[in-house]
Amino acid sequence: MVQERAAFPTFSQEPIRLIDPDGRWVAPFPHGLSAQELRRFYRDMLAARLLDEKLVVLVRTGKTSFIAPHAGHEAAQVGIAHALQRGHDWLFPYYRDLGLVLAMGVPLPEIFGQTLGNAADPAKGRQMPSHPGSRSLNIFTVCSAIASHIPPAVGAAISMKLRRTGQVAVCTFGDGATSEGDWHAGVNFAAVQRAPVVFVCENNRYAISVNIAQQTASENIAIKAKAYGIPGYHVDGLDVLASYSVVRYAVERARAGEGPSLVELVVHRFGPHSSADDDTRYKSKEELSAERRQDPLLRYQRFLEREGLWDAQWANELRLEIAKELEAALQEAQAAGEPDPLQMFDDVFAARPWHLEEQRRLLAEELEA
């Protein structure tokens, strides 16, 4: 059984919060993390923010065709990453999870290669940008079709249960996914089968331009778990330690054989839905300004200051260090060049059938000519 002391309230009206907006620790228990661990959360959040800024530059300079900005989601995504057993558990992310996969350990050159669609991309340029995956880290490749990754996450979790591997599947998605039939079917089946899966909604309140009030009459996303007979946790996703602690509790609960949970992390999306979106058409300047004032990085910075773990010199040096890593990784990815067109015939069949061999031969001749 999961330790009772670590339990969090289900279906709370107010979001679960461990650090208040002024950076004060408000939980009735100690955080139990070392100074090194606490600083690592900040580093990962800052790296995610700087990665987002770098991706904006790439799309605006025409080096990539699409991004899904994740600024504002950093606390939620870094919290999720630290709650998993990396390389053991499975992650089924969605297209806004670049900060999450970075914190999970996906190398920066791979992230940039995937963004550029070149030879540095493990998917060999055959997937649209902002759709990463990692075979070595058990990260399922992102799919554009909203909520379509939820049934596969449940199927994988049931396999883990039947094979008794001790693994857990964590599946992330936005609030818009909860309006899809795949979401209902997946969560319902997982609940019935008591699958070791944790569903994590990064609720930024907008499915592109559709406000959550136009999607659901429920008071929040977490309460939807009641219909499936599983726990639902309503969490302040701008609080990195609350995000980490609740997701970790849900993961260990699933690992102990107690079935799935739904965790709602309430966040803000500072940028547009994607590089093809103009969020100023449906969000007022006042709303955008109010969201920026609740920056999760600033909240966590205030907490670290209170703990004696943050100062401007350290933060500036860290920013420069990360910026250099990002630039070096981008240069490495760009140097990889374009993917080999003949690779389009790879990775589909264990042995290529005759008609694909013939097509590959014809293409090779054309390229040589």
pLDDT in tens, 203-240: 999 999 999 999 999 999 999 999 999 999 999 999 99
| 199, β-bridge pairs | 171, 262
Distances (CA, A) of 196 to 114, 165, 184, 212, 291: 30, 11, 17, 28, 34
Strands 206-207 and 210-211: antiparallel
CB 288: neighbour CB atoms within 10 A?
Answer: 15
Are the C-beta atoms of 129 and 137 separated by less than 8 Å? no
Q: How far apart are CA 356 and CA 354, in angstroms?
A: 6
Residue 266's contacts (CB-CB under 8 Å, 6 or more residues apart) are 15, 203, 205, 220, 234, 235, 236, 237, 238
Q: What is the mean pLDDT, run by run of 10 residues, along the chain of 369 residues?
A: 63 97 96 97 98 97 96 98 97 98 98 97 93 97 96 98 98 98 98 98 97 96 98 98 98 98 98 95 94 97 98 98 98 96 92 96 95
pLDDT in tens, 58-93: 999 999 999 999 999 999 999 999 999 999 999 999
> With b meaning 16 or more CB within 10 Å and e meaning fewer, what string describes 334-356?
eeeeebeeeebbeeeeeeeeeee
* DSSP percent split of the chain into helix, strand, coil, nearest 5: 50, 10, 40
The catalytic residue positions are: 269, 273, 282
Distances (CA, A) of 248 to 12, 200, 291, 314: 18, 11, 26, 29
Q: How far apart are CA 17 and CA 11, in angstroms?
A: 14
How many H-runs (helices) and E-runs (strands) does the chain carry?
11, 7
Q: How far apart are CA 197 and CA 191, in angstroms?
A: 9
Nearest Cα neighbor of 110 from 85, 88, 127, 93 is 127
Radius of gyration of the chain (CA): 21
Q: How far apart are CA 6 and CA 32, in angstroms?
A: 12
Please tell me the predicted confidence (pLDDT) of residue 6.
56
Tokens of 146: 């909203």
Are the C-beta atoms of 189 and 199 separated by less than 8 Å? no
Which residue in the block uniquely carries the two structure tokens 């909520």?
A: 147
Query: Which domains, ranges and CATH numbers included, belong to the chain?
Result: 4-338 (3.40.50.970), 341-369 (no CATH)
| 290, β-bridge pairs | none
DSSP assignment, residue 176?
Answer: G
